[in-house]
Amino acid sequence: MAQNVNIVQKIIEYIEDHLHENIDLDTLAASMHYSKYYLHRLFTKTIGLSIHTYILRRRLSEAARSLAQTQRPIMEIALWSGYESQRTFTNRFRKMYKIPPAKFRKQKQYYPLQLRMNVQDMYDDFILSKATIRHAKKSDIPSWITLLHLVVDGYPSLNEVEYRVQLEIAIEQKRALLIEHEHELIGALVFRSHPCWIDFLGIHPQYRNSQLTQLFLNALKETYCPNQEIWISTFRKYDPADTGYREEFIKLGFMERECSIEFDYPTQHFVLPVNDKKKERNKYE
């Protein structure tokens, strides 16, 4: 396990060191003395994104930062981000950020699609248990924000300053829960009751297959929101910015409801029925 993590970390370091260059997977594989197919499978399994997708999202995130914080010409940023023309860059940027680069620049508000990923050793003795969930404390905020940076792909338009303020309120009101293992924060949840809404759900990318989301849902259903529907917002269908969140919620039994606009971003509401029966008719089918 440690060796795999080390390999993935080296891939990330290579990508970050050459982010604005032509990254050739064959060259990367040769430098690490592994098959490119092996590296691709290992990276995707560990991070939850393919190498290509990670590079694309990182480049667009850095392009967005440059748009919001500098006066560099858009054409220069496009070339710097690996695009051969401003038109191609604009089309891709609009698909992921939902607005063209020029308008994004005028807003002067930067938010990333993907921040630099850091991986860690996972523990083979990790066992799911309700006992692993506890209320967050203010002293947990630094670790919480670290996790936020790892799962920012699920929260487009997120303003970290405003988020921190709301997190402190949620902690005071006992609406912020977390899961940790070996002193590492690997899952976080902010919710409201009456009606039961999940405002934030973040699972460390390396633990997304560990059923932590289901563990949180069980805690809501049994302790914090008994006999209530559970609501959440996520990406709309066919949104290219979605890295799999929508599909995960559907697999967990959530059903589609109305579309909405949240923080100027197109989203869709989902609901988990009280009886949690996947056979219940989805009115959007």
In which domain, by residue range, is 146 found?
130-272
What's the whole-model pTM score?
A: 0.88
H-assigned helices in 120-159? 141-150
Q: Do residue 193 and residue 157 come from a single domain?
A: yes
Q: pLDDT-based confidence at 118, cuts 50/70/90?
A: confident
Length of the chain: 285
Nearest CA-CA partner of 96 in 113, 79, 81, 76: 113
3-state SS, 11-28, equals HHHHHHHCCCCCCCHHHH
Give long-range contacts, CB 8 A cutoff, 24+ apart: 257-260: 257/231, 257/283, 257/284, 260/233
Average pLDDT, the chain: 91
Whether residue 157 is contained in a domain is answered as yes
Q: How far apart are CA 119 and CA 209, in angstroms?
A: 15
Q: Do residue 188 and residue 245 come from a single domain?
A: yes
Whether residue 137 is contained in a domain is answered as yes
Nearest CA-CA partner of 199 in 210, 186, 188, 207: 188
Boundary of a domain, candidates 57, 92, 107: 107
pLDDT 10s digits, 191-211: 999 899 999 999 999 888 888
Whether residue 114 is contained in a domain is answered as no
Whether residue 115 is contained in a domain is answered as no
Whether the per-residue pLDDT at 123 is higher than 60: the answer is: no
Q: Indicate the number of domains in the chain.
A: 2
Q: Do residue 156 and residue 100 come from a single domain?
A: no
